[in-house]
């Protein structure tokens, strides 16, 4: 068996850049599997903003912090190369929470490991239109935000992986969609490729003023960001609107909690329902979501643009691109 290269968390990062100061690329001789474990030869790694919080020392997040000296954890798509679980024979294409490594070792139940459909033309869609970003978008828009046909749905980080899918889910459910993203290129993508009704460049436009032009107010808001964007949306919500919060990327690089919204009073004034949700709470429902997502994918109604980087040695480059918003769509690393 060949050596295994992996990324190790050495120090708690400061900010969203220069990750090579905090993580190191290491190599090991793989050890024998314990009973029930599965070894995966990674083909792609998923770069996800939520993992940034796992690197911090904060203990009040949605999951305990990753111990220093541990392998960095993230979603893996690849084939089983060795197994001690008969449910996952060698050669099976699988997806689950593994490590940023060429060979990930997991306990299937703890990793949410599952075999995926090999008939999908682009396997990366198991990180895209058929993956957990899509499940998050689908649950968040359809159930948590409870979007209704004809009303306005606003989406923050709208050109990212989860945001771009949330925009499309809302559109497919009959909503009018306004996407909030950073820069003219992303706004063109939202209008021209995703067919949104409105795109707002938060770097160059007054988000609150633009949202005020949405007749009747924003009925549903799918929020990935928090912070100033949330403050701009709250005063523009319709009465009895719904806010689905699945991310707080504005505060992931801090070691202290993000301050609450400055416009918190609008939750009362507009009688809003605000709900946080986390897709691992819905993992057992994945098979329920897939038929609709696959139908939209096959019909061209749900698409994903991929931002792909090659090589385990370039993981930190891809990760920083994603966290600093220099990507459009889903950031993946091809192993």
DSSP assignments along 166-222, one per residue: HHHHHHHTT-EEEEEESSHHHHHIIIIIS--SEEEETTTS-HHHHHTTSTT-EEEEE
Do 83 and 65 sit in the same domain of this protein?
yes
Burial class (CB in 10 A: 0-12, 13-18, 19+), 239: exposed
144 and 98 assigned to the same domain: no
Same domain, 145 and 24: no
Element housing 66 (H / E): none
User: What does the pLDDT read at residue 260?
Assistant: 83
Is 271 domain-assigned? yes
Q: Strand pairing of 23-28 and 114-115?
A: unpaired
146 and 235 belong to one structural domain: yes
The predicted pLDDT at position 1 comes to 56
Q: List the beta strands (DSSP E) in the chain.
A: 4-9, 23-28, 38-46, 73-83, 93-99, 103-106, 114-115, 152-155, 176-181, 198-201, 218-223, 237-245, 273-276, 306-310, 330-334
Cα separation of 175 and 137, whole Å?
14
Task: Please check whether residues 188 and 268 belong to one and the same domain.
Answer: yes
Give domain status of residue 190, yes or no: yes
Q: Are strands 73-83 and 38-46 parallel, antiparallel or unpaired?
A: antiparallel
Q: Is 259 in the same domain as 187?
A: yes
Asked whether residue 107 falls in the same domain as residue 138, the answer is no
Q: Residues 266, 237: contact at Cβ < 8 Å? A: yes
Low-confidence ranges of the chain (pLDDT < 50): none
The CATH number assigned to the domain holding 175 equals 3.40.50.720
Where does residue 304 rank: exposed (0-12), middle (13-18), buried (19+ CB within 10 A)?
buried
In a domain, 321, yes or no: yes
Please indicate, yes or no, if residue 42 is contained in any of the structural domains: yes
Length of the chain counted residue by residue? 335
The domain that holds 321 is classified in CATH as: 3.90.180.10
Backbone dihedral angles phi then psi of residue 9, each to the nearest 5 degrees: -85, 110
Please say whether the beta carbons of 69 and 12 come within 8 A: no
In this structure, the answer to whether residues 185 and 87 fall within a common structural domain is no
Question: The tokens of 79 are what?
Answer: 């084939």
Q: Which residue has the tokens 């928090």?
A: 226
End-to-end CA distance of the chain: 17
In a domain, 117, yes or no: yes
Based on the fold, state whether residues 143 and 268 are members of the same structural domain: yes
Residue 259 burial by Cβ neighbours in a 10 Å radius (0-12, 13-18, 19+): exposed
Question: For position 156, what pLDDT does the model report?
Answer: 98
Asked, for residue 19, whether it belongs to a domain, the answer is yes
Q: Is residue 288 part of a domain?
A: no
Q: Is 235 inside any structural domain?
A: yes
Is the CB of residue 23 less than 8 Å from the CB of residue 82? Answer: no
If one counts the domains in the chain, the total is 2
Domain containing residue 59: 4-126+305-334
Same domain, 138 and 181: yes
Distance CA 213, CA 217 (A): 8
- Domain co-membership, 78 together with 142: no
Facing residues of 176 across strands?
152
Q: What is the bridge-based pairing of β-strands 93-99 and 114-115?
A: antiparallel
Q: What was the pLDDT predicted at 255?
A: 65
pLDDT the model gives residue 133: 95
Q: Are residues 139 and 275 in the same domain?
A: yes
């Amino acid at each position: 068996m060949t050596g295994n290269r992996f990324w190790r968390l050495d120090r708690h990062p400061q900010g969203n850049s220069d990750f090579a100061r905090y993580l190191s690329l290491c190599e090991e001789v793989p050890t024998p599997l314990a009973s029930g474990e599965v070894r995966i030869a990674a083909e792609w790694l998923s770069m996800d903003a939520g993992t940034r919080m796992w690197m911090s020392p904060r203990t009040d997040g949605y999951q305990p912090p990753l111990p220093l000296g541990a392998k960095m954890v993230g979603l893996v798509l690849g084939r089983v190369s060795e197994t001690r679980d008969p449910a996952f024979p060698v050669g099976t294409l699988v997806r689950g929470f593994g490590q940023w490594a060429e060979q990930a070792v997991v306990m299937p139940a703890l990793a949410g490991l599952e075999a995926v459909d090999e008939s999908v033309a682009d396997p990366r869609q198991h990180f895209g239109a058929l993956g957990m970003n899509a499940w998050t978008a689908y649950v968040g828009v359809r159930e948590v935000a409870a979007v209704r046909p004809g009303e306005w749905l606003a989406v923050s980080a709208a050109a990212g992986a989860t945001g771009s899918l949330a925009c499309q889910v809302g559109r497919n459910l009959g909503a009018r969609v306004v996407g909030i993203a950073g820069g003219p290129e992303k706004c063109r993508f939202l209008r021209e490729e995703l067919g949104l009704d409105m795109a707002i460049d938060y770097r160059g436009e007054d988000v609150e003023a633009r949202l005020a032009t949405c007749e009747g107010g924003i009925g549903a808001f799918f929020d990935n960001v928090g912070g100033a964007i949330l403050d701009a949306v709250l005063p523009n919500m319709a009465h009895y609107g719904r806010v689905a919060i699945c991310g707080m990327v504005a505060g992931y690089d801090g070691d202290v909690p993000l301050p609450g919204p400055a416009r918190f009073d609008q939750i009362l004034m507009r009688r809003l329902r605000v709900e946080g949700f986390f897709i691992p709470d819905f993992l057992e429902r994945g098979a329920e979501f897939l038929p609709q997502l696959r139908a939209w994918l096959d019909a061209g109604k749900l698409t994903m643009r991929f931002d792909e980087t090659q090589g385990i040695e370039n993981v930190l480059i891809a990760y920083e691109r994603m966290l600093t918003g220099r990507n459009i769509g889903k950031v993946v690393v091809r192993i």
